Structures are given as structure tokens and as C-alpha cells.
């Protein structure tokens, strides 16, 4: 049986049936264009038989496009009304039984995922996009790659390289897990309701080997947070709080091979990791 996609009229009809008025609080901007959801799935190169996790399936437009490829989907949705309707929508659109698993929960609190998905595909709720992404990368090492749609500025920050103005904590923390790249633009006209921001697709491939242990990651992220908390200051000052004084910070930085006069935005994730490794 072929999986069919949701159209704009059906999405509005479903929302009316469920008495759902999209809310900003939950970042509810639904994609109402079949080409766009297929474009996201294509960017993620989802293959038949693969296991995908989708965060925030909403009324199911992207979900059905993933299922159309023959992949299996675990979908995590916080809005109970939407989560409860999805199995019926899937059945009505030709999805084989067992291909879709719903987790009715806040993605930020999920610690287990049925089906051990290896790919992340999502049109993320904009207000929590970075925390949700980092939570999933940290909690589910089985996730090998993914493509997510986020607010354009957020995508650019995630994919930013050292030395650029927009390089910040999301860039370094995301890079901990592997390389990221921008992989497509999406017009705001394909959403209902139309948001007042532009969107971009951003994708990652996880490094074959983890960069460091969980303890190293935690210590690295602490240093990253401190460095960008005072991003205009030289690192010896910005890190003086966590190392006790600016001269102690200078010593740590020098033994990590980093100039104490550098600024947080100059360092790669490798530099931050080395600082964490030599820190007392």
C-alpha cells in the first residue's frame, strides 16, 4: 500500500477536528506543502528500513513523508491531542501497522526511545530547538546523522565556524558530536500559520568515534559557557572565575597550547576539549 501525504486543506480540517489552534508557546507552525516535507526527507537521505526519530510530529505532515520512504518512525510529541490522533492519520494514509511509534512526551525529558532510531529528522519547535537537539545528541548515541529545520539564525549559528561573529555556544557544543552543514532553505509561506522568521535546514553526521568521555564533555561545555558568557574578554579573564584567577587561567590555557589573549570565538571544539583535559 502506498503512503499518501497530507494536503493543506486536510491539515486545517484535522486541526479544526481536534480543536487545535496552533500556539507560539509550543512552536506550532505546521508545514502544509508536500514538496517541502519531501525535500527535508531527501536532505536526510532516508532509506527504506531505516529507523528515524522525529521530534514534534504535529499533525503528521513530515511524519508521513518519512514513512513514505519505507522507513520506520518513532515520533515524540508533547501535545497530547496531536499525539493521540497520529496513529489514525497514519492508518488513513496507508502507513503499514508497526511502522509508526508515538511517544507522548516532552522531548526535553525523554531518556528512552523505542526502536533505537539511527536518524533524526524534525521540523523543530523553534523556542527549544537547540536544547532539544543537544539533549538528543547527548542522550542517544545511536543517532548517526540527521537533518532538522530551525529558524535561519539558529541554523547559521549551529553551523558557524570559529572566527565568525555568530560563532557561539551552540556552534561549539553541536560540533562536539560531529560536523554540521546548512543543507537547504525553506520559505515561510509553506507554514500554517506563517511564522515571522525564515527557516533553514541544517544537518549533521556523528563522528565515528566519540570525541571524549561524558565527564570530558561536561567539563568542556562548562568552559565553553564561561568563555562565551564574556565573549568580548580575553580568555584569561573570561575563565578566571572557573580557574580561580586570571594567572591560573593563563597557565591552563598555555599548557593546552591556547593563547591566553585569545577570545572564546577564536577556539575550535578541539581547543576547548584540550583545555578541559589539562584543567586541574
- Which residues sit at the interface with ligand SAM, rule CB under 6 A? 26-31, 55-58, 61-62, 76-79, 82, 106-108, 123, 125, 128
127 marked as part of a ligand binding site: no
Beta carbon of residue 64, minimum distance to ligand SAM (angstroms, whole number): 10
Q: Give the span between the Cα atoms of 66 and 280, in whole angstroms.
A: 47
110 marked as part of a ligand binding site: no
65, 38 contact by CB (below 8 A) = yes
Q: Give the span between the Cα atoms of 65 and 14, in whole angstroms.
A: 17
Which C-beta is closer to ligand SAM: that of 133 or that of 269?
A: 133
**Residue 179 burial (CB count, 10 A):** 12
Which C-beta is closer to ligand SAM: that of 62 or that of 183?
A: 62
Beta carbon of residue 170, minimum distance to ligand SAM (angstroms, whole number): 17
Which C-beta is closer to ligand SAM: that of 82 or that of 100?
A: 82
56 marked as part of a ligand binding site: yes
Q: Pull the grid cell for residue 230.
A: 564574556
Q: Shortest Cβ contact with ligand SAM: which residue?
A: 56
Beta carbon of residue 274, minimum distance to ligand SAM (angstroms, whole number): 34
Which C-beta is closer to ligand SAM: that of 61 or that of 171?
A: 61
- For residue 193, cis peptide bond before it (omega within 30 degrees of 0): yes
106 marked as part of a ligand binding site: yes
Beta carbon of residue 135, minimum distance to ligand SAM (angstroms, whole number): 10
Q: Give the span between the Cα atoms of 262 and 235, in whole angstroms.
A: 6
Beta carbon of residue 269, minimum distance to ligand SAM (angstroms, whole number): 26
Which C-beta is closer to ligand SAM: that of 84 or that of 277?
A: 84
Q: Is 20 helix (H, G, I), strand (E, B) or coil?
A: coil
Q: Which residue from 188, 186, 102, 103 is spatially nearest to 148, judged by alpha carbons?
A: 186
Q: Which residue from 161, 148, 56, 40 is spatially nearest to 102, judged by alpha carbons?
A: 56
Burial group, residue 213, by CB count within 10 angstroms (0-12, 13-18, 19+): exposed
Please report, in range form, the residues annotated as the binding site for S-adenosyl-L-methionine: 29, 31, 56, 77, 106, 123
Amino acid at each position: 500500500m502506498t503512503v499518501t501525504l497530507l494536503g493543506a486543506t486536510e491539515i486545517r480540517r484535522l486541526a479544526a477536528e481536534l480543536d487545535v489552534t496552533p500556539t507560539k508557546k509550543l512552536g506550532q507552525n505546521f508545514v502544509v506543502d508536500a514538496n517541502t516535507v519531501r525535500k527535508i526527507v531527501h536532505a536526510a537521505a532516508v532509506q527504506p528500513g531505516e529507523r528515524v526519530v522525529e521530534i514534534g510530529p504535529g499533525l503528521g505532515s513530515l511524519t508521513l513523508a518519512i514513512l513514505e520512504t519505507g522507513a520506520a518512525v518513532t515520533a515524540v510529541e508533547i501535545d497530547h491531542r496531536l499525539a493521540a490522533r497520529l496513529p489514525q492519520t497514519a492508518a488513513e494514509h496507508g502507513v503499514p501497522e508497526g511502522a509508526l511509534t508515538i511517544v507522548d512526551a516532552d522531548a526535553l525529558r525523554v531518556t528512552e526511545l523505542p526502536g533505537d532510531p539511527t536518524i533524526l529528522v524534525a521540523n523543530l519547535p523553534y523556542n527549544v530547538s537547540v536544547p532539544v537537539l543537544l539533549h538528543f545528541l547527548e542522550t542517544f548515541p545511536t543517532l548517526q546523522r540527521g537533518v532538522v529545520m530551525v529558524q535561519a539564525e539558529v541554523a547559521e549559528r549551529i553551523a558557524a565556524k570559529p572566527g565568525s561573529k555568530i560563532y557561539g555556544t551552540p556552534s561549539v557544543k553541536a560540533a562536539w558530536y560531529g560536523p554540521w552543514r546548512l543543507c537547504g532553505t525553506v520559505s515561510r509561506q509553506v507554514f500554517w500559520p506563517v511564522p515571522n522568521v525564515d527557516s533553514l535546514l541544517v544537518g549533521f553526521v556523528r563522528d565515528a568515534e566519540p570525541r571524549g568521555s561524558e565527564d570530558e564533555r561536561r567539563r568542556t561545555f562548562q568552559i565553553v559557557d564561561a568563555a562565551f558568557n564574556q565573549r568580548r574578554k580575553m580568555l584569561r579573564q573570561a575563565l578566571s572565575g572557573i580557574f580561580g584567577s586570571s594567572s591560573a587561567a593563563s597557565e591552563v590555557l598555555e599548557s593546552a597550547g591556547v593563547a591566553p589573549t585569545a577570545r572564546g570565538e577564536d577556539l575550535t571544539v578541539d581547543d576547548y576539549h584540550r583545555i578541559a583535559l589539562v584543567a586541574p
